[in-house]
A and B are shown apart, each in its own frame.
Chain A
Amino acid sequence: MIAELGAFCLVLALVLSVVQAGLCGVGGGRRLPVLAGAGEGAALAAFLALLAAFGCLIWAFVTSDFSVSNVAANSHTQKPMLYRVAGAWGSHEGSMLLWCLTLTGYGAATAVFGRGLRLGLRSYALSAQGVLGVLFLAYTAFASNPFTRVFPAPVEGRSLNPLLQDPALAFHPPFLYAGYVGFSVVFSFAVAALIDGRLDSAWARWVRPWTLAAWSLLTVGIGLGAFWAYYELGWGGWWFWDPVENASFMPWLVGAALLHSAIVTERRGALTGWTVFLALAAFVFSMLGAFLVRSGVLTSVHAFAVDPTRGVMLLSILGVTAGAGFILFAWRAQTLAPGGAFAPVSRESAIVLNNILLSAATATVLLGTLYPLIREATGGETVSVGPPYFNLTFTPLLILAFIILPAGPLLAWKRGDAKGVAQRLGLAAAIAAGCAVLAVVLISPRHAVASAGLGVGVWLICGAAVEIAERIKLFKAPGAEVKRRLTGLPRGAWGTTLAHAGLGVFVLGAVYETTWKVEAAEALTQGGRLSLGAYEVRLDSVAVHDGPNYLAERGVVRVTRDGAAVCTAQPERRFYPAGGQTTSEVALCLKGVDDLYIVLGERRAGPNGEPAWLVRAYFNPWVRLIFLGPLMMALGGLVSLSDRRLRFAAPAKAEGAKA
């Protein structure tokens, strides 16, 4: 009954989305608040119905109901409870349901938080969101239904890919989807404003919190994914320029550009067309990611649906949605009123430059991701586009963006004072250059380019600090004044600073880890040792360990430095009998922001015939900064989001409080 109730709720949500799209569209077009209100009710109901459906799917996974074919294909009775719950979204069908749940969730949120908006914008946006819901729900219900039953039910499930059996599965996809799908609201509002014909600063102001929320959640999702890849795949990398990673990175870059251009549109009424374009593009890139992952055009850990038919359907959804959005844009583009003018040196210009660089960077990533696919599809040989391409194209663009970044927030709107800004940033530049020089001198082996990279990281952090110092007139005003300014700073300013500094922290970690990591690998017998830079790694023993659904060889590895114990690590090599797969469980020793990363490899015969294990050890300096940076950026986004200037639902309250 529960499984069938889930199927019914899924279908009900589909019908409710049709109702939402229809009633909100008609209600907005004919100025009938009653119909629009009914459509909003449908949006809320669709979300609740999908929440119930999702609960039913989790129930089927928890009780191991193998008559549900998705459970049979992706679960196993021996699987620990956490992965049974999280396994609900570990497969194509289940994750499509999560996608739809998030989509309707954002629709419901728009209905609830958007009650203060004018009828036309609100209704058209909810109608557009409803159309998106119809497309994705129809796809899920008819082509990827997670509640499809199978009779007779198999005795045992086929279990989940062991690489996915990790606590990160519980968090990485939900955050990522909350980010991807969050851009659907932005898309819907762009469509609504284009239909309504009123693209103004009010629109931009409404779009900004949604962009911030989606972008922050996407940042967390990508950061978690990078961390997961880092410790799960067993060779210490955190970013591979894998097409799937690129697919998540493109909406992030576009989202970052949109965040900034929306400020200009809101403050100055300028760049409206460009902001609308980015608002459409962000979600189109999200859908492109969904298509790449699910169509079978890629081979990857993420490519869980290798089914060309489904791929064609998703491509059709992508084509229809993007086509409709951009045609509407082309149709309305001429009617957009020109916004306020600004000088070449101004905050607006800096943001335009930021947008140009981010868009160009997105284009290089898009090219690098699609070129091999296009070439393969047109009968060319298989090529792979890897780090060398991205280092030559993407990295220089971003470095340029990083260099101009600290100047942006210091420039005034309309007409900035280039000389003043240069003076104010002088100290930051001096510190950054000093750090780069010190790095060349002190860190061995010497590496000039990487040292300059460290300088860029320091430049970003110091630049962010200078911005706050300027705002509170540090060292320029009396203490009481500084304190008053400090407490009076809007949260948006803190968010900006935190995000920009987080970027600097990330750059520091990425440059340092990539350049100065140390690795060593050797086949060790029990008691054998290998040296890793200043550390000595000793394999004390290896014992068999029975996991809940796997057998493992667990090594006890003692790490010492100059004879002093540093840590004891327990890397594992696991065998999952259900699928016959083997995985490595990396052991991490956290030392401040550095990691000692130890992998137990396969067993082989030692020199005297005794068993030996291939032990690989890495010293990854500053690697934690790579994951800390994005967290700071996401936190910055959320702090900005909490700024009351962005709160739309309660304008009356805010004004009332002031009066």
Chain B
Amino acid sequence: MIAFWIAAAAVSALAAALVLRGAARPAPAGDETLSLHKRQLAEIDELAERGLLAEGEVRSARTEAARRLLSAADEAATATRQGGRRTALIVAGIAPLAAVVIYVLVGAPDQPDQPYAKRIAEWRASDPRSLEPDAIAAVLEAAAKEKPNDPEPLRNLAILKSALDDAPGAQAALRRALRVAPDRVDLWTALGEAFVLEARGQINDDAVRAFDEAVKRDPKALTPRYYLGRGRILKGEAAEGLTLWRGLLPDIPAGDPRRTVLEGEIAAVARDGRLPMPEPEAAQPQVSPADIQGMVDGLAARLKEQPDDPEGWVRLVRAYAVLGDAAKRDATLAEARARYKDQPQVLDALTAAAEVPR
């Protein structure tokens, strides 16, 4: 703020100095009219000399210019007067003061500049949780610029942009990240997902290209293969899509919840030839806690009769965990662990299911 007032004072002083300099060196109180007419006469002579004016024209032009010279001489400049120095001095002094008064009305002298670079530095120094998403994006952007060979900030930026529903922003960030790390499968996958986000669930050519790139680099990658299959089904090529999806199943670890979802979808597509339409939310029947309890009890009863169903056990453990029934969860978990103690995959899935956060 001090710097501002010093600068403002310097500018004001300069302005006042220019006003006073003008007062100290007034222009000669000449009258250009006479000199102009004299020059006009000289020019006519010059043109005539060069033969650029016809003979008769020269004479009449000269007569007319002379006539105007005489009339101009008649009304030649009125005498000028001295004085005015004190007025000039007062005005030069008052003007900056007036400027300060008006400035205080429209300006904000105590507000420092906020150049972007300085704000970024402040954001980086502060707790990210206190920042707006846009500010976090700006920080990530700055980090990406700082480390042009590191795709991580850009990947994070893309995640943030996706979360903000800014698909083009996410795509741009991922494309930049891929320029740095063209072999990162997760980046290609994320790019494809950004296209899917933009197309509101449709899997367009851009998305297919991105997922293909991902699969090319990691033929076992689950997500891009899933979307590629889904894309075929959406295009009406259900058989091809199902083949892709069925090929995917063995690669999904048992107990991975995605497996259940996929199995459900495979069943639906095999039955209807197309993906199940997402049911409108209002149409879904309200499920009461009692109903849920009933379903869980039904599952438990079924497992008593047909105990060889690892997925059923996992589901039951997860259900008890979600319902908050710790005692039944632990009992079920112990029973299932005993049953599948030689199948580490199932044991892992069971442990994961028991830890479902509330």
Instruction: Decide if A19 is an interface residue (CB 8 Å cutoff).
Output: yes
Interface string of A397-424 (1 = CB under 8 A from B): 0000000000000001110000000000
Q: Is the CB of A156 within 8 A of B134?
A: yes
Which B residues lie within 8 Å of A221 (CB)?
A: none
Instruction: Decide if B15 is an interface residue (CB 8 Å cutoff).
Output: yes
Chain B residue at minimum C-beta to C-beta distance from A488 = B50
Which B residues lie within 8 Å of A153 (CB)?
A: 114, 119
Instruction: Decide if B72 is an interface residue (CB 8 Å cutoff).
Output: yes
Smallest CB separation, B198 vs chain A (Å): 11
Instruction: Decide if A202 is an interface residue (CB 8 Å cutoff).
Output: yes
Smallest CB separation, A627 vs chain B (Å): 34
Interface string of A1-32 (1 = CB under 8 A from B): 11111011101101110110011001100111
Instruction: Decide if A648 is an interface residue (CB 8 Å cutoff).
Output: yes
Q: Is the CB of B52 within 8 A of A488?
A: yes
Instruction: Decide if A40 is an interface residue (CB 8 Å cutoff).
Output: yes
Stretch in A115-123, A240-248, A585-593 with 4+ CB within 8 Å of B: A115-123
Count: A-B pairs, CB below 8 Å: 249
Instruction: Decide if B282 is an interface residue (CB 8 Å cutoff).
Output: no
Which A residues lie within 8 Å of B301 (CB)?
A: none
Complex Cα distance A341/B52, Å? 23
Instruction: Decide if B343 is an interface residue (CB 8 Å cutoff).
Output: no
Q: Is the CB of B54 within 8 A of A648?
A: no
Complex Cα distance A77/B78, Å? 61
CB within 8 Å of B: which of A24-72? 26-27, 30-42, 44-45, 48-49, 52, 60, 63-67
Instruction: Decide if A475 is an interface residue (CB 8 Å cutoff).
Output: no
With A1-B3, A200-B33 known to touch, is A485 a contact of B28 (CB < 8 Å)? no
Which B residues lie within 8 Å of A115 (CB)?
A: 27-28
Which A residues lie within 8 Å of B7 (CB)?
A: 1, 5
Q: Known A-B contacts: A18-B98, A31-B81, A115-B27. Give 12 more (CB < 8 A).
A: A31-B79, A33-B80, A36-B26, A38-B88, A42-B95, A60-B113, A116-B27, A116-B35, A201-B68, A205-B36, A651-B35, A652-B35
List, sorted by A's number, 20 A–B pairs whose CB atoms are closer than 8 Å.
A4-B108, A11-B106, A14-B102, A22-B91, A31-B79, A36-B27, A38-B88, A38-B92, A42-B95, A48-B18, A115-B28, A116-B27, A120-B77, A141-B102, A202-B32, A488-B50, A488-B52, A546-B172, A551-B172, A645-B43
Of residues B21, B107, B132, which shows the largest number of chain A Cβ atoms within 10 Å of its Cβ?
B107
Interface string of B17-43 (1 = CB under 8 A from A): 011111111111111110111111011
Which A residues lie within 8 Å of B100 (CB)?
A: 8
Instruction: Decide if B150 is an interface residue (CB 8 Å cutoff).
Output: no
Partner of A64, one of B35, B111, B115, B168: B115
Chain A residue at minimum C-beta to C-beta distance from B166 = A577
Q: Is the CB of A35 within 8 A of B84?
A: yes
Grouping DSSP codes into helix (H, G, I), strand (E, B) and loop, the B interface class, with mixed when no group exceeds half, is helix
Instruction: Decide if A471 is an interface residue (CB 8 Å cutoff).
Output: yes
Q: Is the CB of B20 within 8 A of A38?
A: yes
Smallest CB separation, B212 vs chain A (Å): 15
CB within 8 Å of A: which of B41-94? 42-43, 50-52, 54, 57, 60-61, 64, 68, 72, 75, 77-85, 87-88, 91-92
Instruction: Decide if B257 is an interface residue (CB 8 Å cutoff).
Output: no
Smallest CB separation, B53 vs chain A (Å): 10
Q: Is the CB of A41 within 8 A of B106?
A: no
Which A residues lie within 8 Å of B116 (CB)?
A: 63-66, 77
Q: Is the CB of A37 within 8 A of B23?
A: yes
**Residues of chain B at the chain A interface (Cβ within 8 Å):** 1, 3-4, 7-8, 11-12, 14-15, 18-33, 35-40, 42-43, 50-52, 54, 57, 60-61, 64, 68, 72, 75, 77-85, 87-88, 91-92, 95-96, 98-100, 102-103, 106-109, 111-117, 119, 132, 134-135, 137-138, 141, 166, 168-169, 171-172, 175-176, 205
Complex Cα distance A15/B100, Å? 10
Q: Is the CB of A19 within 8 A of B106?
A: no
Chain A residue at minimum C-beta to C-beta distance from B167 = A577
Which A residues lie within 8 Å of B109 (CB)?
A: 4
Smallest CB separation, B57 vs chain A (Å): 7
Complex Cα distance A60/B113, Å? 8
Which A residues lie within 8 Å of B43 (CB)?
A: 645
Complex Cα distance A36/B27, Å? 9
With A5-B8, A44-B18, A201-B68 known to touch, is A34 a contact of B114 (CB < 8 Å)? no
Instruction: Decide if A124 is an interface residue (CB 8 Å cutoff).
Output: no
Partner of B80, one of A31, A38, A145, A654: A31
Partner of B39, one of A36, A120, A655: A655
Instruction: Decide if A155 is an interface residue (CB 8 Å cutoff).
Output: yes
Complex Cα distance A141/B105, Å? 11
Grouping DSSP codes into helix (H, G, I), strand (E, B) and loop, the A interface class, with mixed when no group exceeds half, is helix
Closest 9 CB pairs of A and B: A41-B22, A37-B26, A33-B26, A63-B115, A155-B134, A38-B23, A64-B116, A38-B88, A34-B84
Partner of B22, one of A18, A39, A142: A39
Instruction: Decide if A611 is an interface residue (CB 8 Å cutoff).
Output: yes
Smallest CB separation, B351 vs chain A (Å): 43
Q: Is the CB of A15 within 8 A of B102?
A: yes
Instruction: Decide if A147 is an interface residue (CB 8 Å cutoff).
Output: yes
Q: Is the CB of B84 within 8 A of A65?
A: no
Which A residues lie within 8 Å of B114 (CB)?
A: 65-67, 153
Chain A residue at minimum C-beta to C-beta distance from B3 = A1
Which A residues lie within 8 Å of B68 (CB)?
A: 200-201, 269
Complex Cα distance A31/B82, Å? 8
Q: Is the CB of B85 within 8 A of A65?
A: no
Interface string of A183-212 (1 = CB under 8 A from B): 000000000000000101110011000000
Q: Is the CB of A485 within 8 A of B52?
A: yes
With A1-B3, A48-B18, A77-B116 known to touch, is A116 a contact of B106 (CB < 8 Å)? no
Q: Is the CB of A4 within 8 A of B4?
A: yes
Partner of B77, one of A119, A147, A154, A485: A119
With A52-B11, A67-B111, A546-B175 known to touch, is A42 a contact of B32 (CB < 8 Å)? no
Of residues A27, A38, A111, A269, which shows the largest number of chain B Cβ atoms within 10 Å of its Cβ?
A38
Instruction: Decide if A340 is an interface residue (CB 8 Å cutoff).
Output: yes
With A4-B4, A118-B77, A651-B39 known to touch, is A37 a contact of B22 (CB < 8 Å)? yes
With A38-B88, A149-B111 known to touch, is A16 a contact of B15 (CB < 8 Å)? yes
Q: Is the CB of A37 within 8 A of B24?
A: yes
Q: Is the CB of B112 within 8 A of A1?
A: yes
Smallest CB separation, A583 vs chain B (Å): 15
Which A residues lie within 8 Å of B72 (CB)?
A: 200, 202
Q: Is the CB of B64 within 8 A of A340?
A: yes
With A16-B15, A49-B11 known to touch, is A155 a contact of B135 (CB < 8 Å)? yes
With A5-B7, A41-B21, A45-B14 known to touch, is A575 a contact of B78 (CB < 8 Å)? no
Q: Is the CB of B11 within 8 A of A9?
A: yes
Q: Is the CB of B75 within 8 A of A198?
A: yes
